[in-house]
Amino acid sequence: MFPSETCVDFKMKTIEVDGIKVRIQIWDTAGQERYQTITKQYYRRAQGIFLVYDISSERSYQHIMKWVSDVDEYAPEGVQKILIGNKADEEQKRQVGREQGQQLAKEYGMDFYETSACTNLNIKESFTRLTELVLQAHRKELEGLRTRASNELALAELEEEEGKPEGPANPSKTCWC
């Protein structure tokens, strides 16, 4: 929910993932078309995104494809995404089956949760999972950078070694007696 004059709501929260305390910034962007120019700018710095539809609205479910293509266009490449079917407490008004949500999530390779902001169903679980995915992606990126750096270092050492004249540079090092 947003105050009438703004289209982005911001909150900070600390959650614990694998025993590590993680401080997360939560940006809740308005869904209305008229705010899109502004809200799209917030995708650029996102590390994790929830794509949310309302289980009591088939129309909101149909809109997910458009959100996915916007995210693909404006968010960073490695951004982590989770599909959410919210208002799970509104069972009597349900228009979107749980399997439809699961199916769509599978198509896009995302995790899926049905949640309720009213009963708190899966709220903590989905935030913890998204944070976990972001941390995992971050670790992988760091490992990749480390491997690349050590490969480049090894290559540089090899090139330096090859550039040297024949014979050991430090004879004492090759002497085992």
Which residues of this protein are in contact with ligand GTP, per CB under 6 A? 1-2, 28, 30-32, 86-87, 89-90, 116-118
Closest separation between CB of residue 144 and ligand GTP, Å?
A: 35
Q: By C-beta, is 95 or 137 nearer to ligand GTP?
A: 95
Closest distance to ligand GTP from the beta carbon of 120 (Å):
9
CA dihedral 26, 32, 37, 40 (to 10 degrees): 30
Cβ 32 to ligand GTP shortest distance, Å:
5
Q: How far is the CB of 145 from ligand GTP (least distance, A)?
A: 36
Nearer to ligand GTP, 66 or 173 (CB): 66
Strand 48-54's sheet: what is its strand order?
48-54, 80-86, 111-114
**What is residue 58's DSSP assignment?**
H
DSSP state of 116: -
The residue number with the shortest CB distance to ligand GTP is 31
Closest CB to ligand GTP among residues 41, 147: 41
Within 10 angstroms of residue 2's Cβ, the number of other Cβ atoms is 14
Nearer to ligand GTP, 31 or 135 (CB): 31
Question: Cα–Cα distance between 28 and 124 in angstroms, integer?
Answer: 16
Contact between 41 and 35 (Cβ < 8 Å)? no
